[in-house]
Amino acid sequence: MGKFTEERTAEIKEKIRAILVRMPRASKYRLAKILNVNKDVALRLRKEVRKENLELIDKQVLKEEVAKMEDAYQEIELECWKIISREGKPERQKTLDSGELEITPAVFSASDKDVIRALKTLVEARKKLFEVKFDSGLFVRKFGELTLIEMFRKVSEEDNEKRRRNKGLDSR
């Protein structure tokens, strides 16, 4: 049989995927017989299908790990902003109707050192998150330009929205 068109190759690959779901250990001879193709073609396409499946799994694992890293960053960011925007409040005592004394503990304002440490932590965490995204292939360097890979554009847009929302915390 001659060389297949791209459409025919894609069709055979889909059939191989379906067969491998039902028979994960299907040999090249079995695939060739079912698909009515040469055994070498069946073997080559089976290898391509398995390679594509592994790449897909790697990308999914990578996305999950980057998402976990972003979640951790958001938690750190939230705590840092609490430190930065903390205002001092004195301890309050209040007598309840039952005669019990309720004490609200004092909240102290953050010192300048705490604010600076929180700001440094924000910057370092953001820098580390960017490095992780860059190392994982979310960004591609092209002659000094950074171009987002299409499938991760949504993550970047969500991040920009979060930054816009956090700007409201700066004014406090």
CA distance 30 to 19: 10
19-28, 57-66, 149-158: the lowest-pLDDT one: 149-158
Q: What value does the mean pLDDT take over residues 4-21?
A: 88
CA distance 55 to 68: 20
Mean pLDDT over each residue of the chain, to the nearest integer: 79
pLDDT of residue 156: 66
111-134 confidence digits (pLDDT tens): 778 888 888 999 999 888 888 887
> pTM of this prediction?
0.48
Delimit the domains of the chain by residue range: 6-86+103-170
- Rounded to 10 degrees, the C-alpha dihedral 139/141/144/150 comes to -50
